[in-house]
Amino acid sequence: MSGTKGARAPRAPNQTVALAAMLFAVSMTFIDQTIVSIAAPSIVEELGLSSSGMQWVVNAYLLALAAFFALGGRLSDIFGHRRVMVVGTLVFVVSSVLCGCAPAGDAAQGWLIVFRATQGIGAALMFPAALAVVIAVFPLNKRGRALALFFGLSGALTAVGPLLGGWLTDWTWRAFFWVNVPVAVVALVLTAMAHIRDQRRHERLDVTGAVLAAAGMGLSVLGLQQASAWGWGSAATWLCIVGGLVVLGFFCRYELRVEQPLIKLQVFSDKAFAVDNLVLFFAMMAFVPVFFFASVYAQVSLSASPNQAALYLLYFFVGFAIASQWGGRILDKRGARPAMKLGTALGCVGFALWAGKLTDLSIHDQWPYACLAGAGIGFLLAPASTDAVNRALGASYGEVTGITQTVRNYAAAVGIAVFGTVLTHVTTDEVAGTLRARGVPEGVSRDAARSIAEGVTGHPDAQEPTGSGPIATMTRSAIHAIRTDFAQANQWVFYGMSIALGVAFLCTLLHPGTRVTDEPGGSDGADGAAGGAAAVAAPEQR
């Protein structure tokens, strides 16, 4: 009898179950990009965090996700997609539980920042591995539809975050993190049921590149975000910013020379691919940060509840959802450039008009402009991302997605850091002016204004100073004016977002005007090429 007689062939993976498993897994990563924004005032009030500290809680996740995304993709290739996806899910959910168990007191801020960062690392392991699983499981003739669902879910789930956050706040902000536990359990059970086979490649891990990328991104964002505390004239601020950019420059130089790089920077030789990523960078400086700043503005200046703040953000997502459908149709019929030009122009105008209405202190008067801003992002996001993936020269879907996701998350982290610094500075100046107008001496008014600016992301009532002294009494009497001052400071932030979209529009003018007309070439496996020069043939319709 043959030694192989009776041996069973490996079971084919269940495509539907595998796709469902990966969608459950990545849903956590997208929801957690925005859900904490709604919780910010509640977290600050309970744990006593500063404004910059709360921004770090939001940004630690985005920065870790950006810094380690490419590394996660490479680890997935080397150790197996299913295995790394499971490890990433476990790291993510354990970190989520620990975030929800944050203690009160002095340790709270450090605790949350550390475990939000490990959450981001878990997401950086999970997402590229999940993408590779989808690519490996589906044959080429079915892969496009599966990937459309996989990527299309990102915008929808980003929208779910604030809505879910507003509902859970009635219980406790800690539930924002604990809700990931049942989702992770479902993802892991479905992964086991799908019988996904691991595919591994014997490659060298670019540890040096990973360290340089993480250090460069981390230093630059640290300098931008701490500028509000250290001051723009501080040597430490510029040492971090310039030092981070220099490290990123060394990273690019190193990656171009190493035999097996973490990121194949040669793909940027395609001009359209480079433009797509520039558009994504400047658009994402507004897209993710708007959740944080709009939510805090609503709860501080408009005295909105978390649920009302979530509904306020819903205006933005109505425009985003509708325009996303139109943007996809424009991409199919006319290419990415028309959709990106329309989206960046609408976004620039929408954020500018929205900024102009912030000082009216009325939620209902702002909805048309919030919708317009959301529509701008909706028109451009999927076309820019899809066009970038389709234009990869000799790189896999996973590798190119690693680049675009790194760009997107780094841009979001930079946006929160820059706009957070602007918000703190302008709030301090506006509040100090209000207090001086009411007779508070220069030095005292400045100190009081800085204290209010640092704590302004707390519950509105928490901004009213305690005590019975004349300064505290005068500040309490000016609380309505201070809320208006905060709205004026947010105008600078939203105008900044408008400028970012304006720069993105200028970038779209550099697009070469060609579009991918054929199915990307390459093998059917997870390592198949995502595109090539031959696939780019037809001129786009302007």
Sequence-distant contacts of 414-417: CB under 8 A, at least 24 apart: 414/220, 414/221, 414/224, 414/285, 415/284, 415/285, 415/286, 415/288, 415/289, 415/497, 415/500, 416/55, 416/58, 416/59, 416/62, 416/225, 416/288, 416/289, 416/292, 417/55, 417/59, 417/221, 417/224, 417/225
Domain that holds residue 437: 430-484
More confident residue, 351 or 521: 351
223 and 180 both lie in a single domain? no
Exposure on the CB side of residue 304, measured as CA atoms within 13 A: 23
Strand partners, 487: none
pLDDT in the model for residue 351: 98
pLDDT in tens, 309-325: 888 888 998 898 888 88
Average pLDDT estimate for 357-363: 89
pLDDT in the model for residue 154: 63
pLDDT in the model for residue 468: 41
pLDDT in tens, 496-539: 999 999 999 999 999 987 766 554 444 444 443 333 333 344 45
Tell how many helices (H) and how many strands (E) occur in the chain: 18, 2
pLDDT in tens, 223-257: 988 887 788 888 999 999 999 999 999 999 999 99
pLDDT in the model for residue 36: 78
**Best mean pLDDT range from 105-109, 268-272, 370-374:** 370-374
pLDDT in the model for residue 396: 61
pLDDT in the model for residue 518: 53
pLDDT in tens, 131-160: 888 878 887 677 667 766 776 676 666 667
153 and 46 both lie in a single domain? yes
Q: For residue 480, what pLDDT band results from cuts at 50, 70 and 90?
A: confident
Share of the chain above pLDDT 70, in %: 84
Q: DSSP letters along 192-239, please?
A: HHHTPPP--------HHHHHHHHHHHHHHHHHHHHHHHH-TT-HHHHH
Average pLDDT estimate for 113-142: 87
pLDDT in tens, 400-458: 778 888 899 899 989 998 998 899 889 888 888 887 877 777 777 777 777 766 665 44
211 and 183 both lie in a single domain? no
More confident residue, 339 or 142: 339
Residue 405 is assigned to a structural domain of this protein? no
Average pLDDT estimate for 464-492: 67
pLDDT in tens, 376-393: 999 998 889 888 877 765
Q: What is the token pair recorded at 45?
A: 């009030």
Residue 467 is assigned to a structural domain of this protein? yes
212 and 234 both lie in a single domain? yes
Average pLDDT estimate for 111-118: 94
Average pLDDT estimate for 328-333: 82
Exposure b/e, 486-495, CB count within 10 A at least 16 = b: bbbbbbbbbb
Domain count, the chain: 3
Average pLDDT estimate for 287-298: 89
Domain boundary among 259, 278, 297: 259
Domain boundary among 196, 218, 234: 196
pLDDT in the model for residue 394: 56
108 and 246 both lie in a single domain? no
pLDDT in the model for residue 203: 73
37 and 118 both lie in a single domain? yes
pLDDT in the model for residue 447: 73
Q: For residue 119, what pLDDT band results from cuts at 50, 70 and 90?
A: very high
119 and 244 both lie in a single domain? no
pLDDT in the model for residue 477: 53
212 and 192 both lie in a single domain? no
173 and 244 both lie in a single domain? no
121 and 233 both lie in a single domain? no
More confident residue, 470 or 495: 495
pLDDT in tens, 23-57: 888 888 878 777 777 777 778 878 877 777 888 88
Q: Does the pLDDT of residue 465 top 50, yes or no?
A: no
Q: For residue 469, what pLDDT band results from cuts at 50, 70 and 90?
A: very low
Residue 55 is assigned to a structural domain of this protein? yes
Helix 271-287 to helix 479-508 angle (10° resolution) is 170
Residue type for position 375: A
Domain boundary among 259, 286, 301: 259
Phi, psi for residue 5 in degrees, rounded to 5: -65, 135
153 and 21 both lie in a single domain? yes
Mean of pLDDT over the chain: 81
* CATH number (domain holding residue 85): 1.20.1250.20
More confident residue, 521 or 495: 495
Q: DSSP letters along 134-148, please?
A: HHHHS-HHHHHHHHH
pLDDT in the model for residue 211: 92
pLDDT in the model for residue 393: 56
Share of the chain above pLDDT 90, in %: 31
Contact call for residues 66 and 409 (beta carbons, < 8 A): yes
186 and 158 both lie in a single domain? yes
pLDDT in the model for residue 344: 97
Q: Does the pLDDT of residue 334 top 80, yes or no?
A: yes
pLDDT in the model for residue 78: 85
**Best mean pLDDT range from 65-69, 212-216, 383-387, 393-397:** 212-216
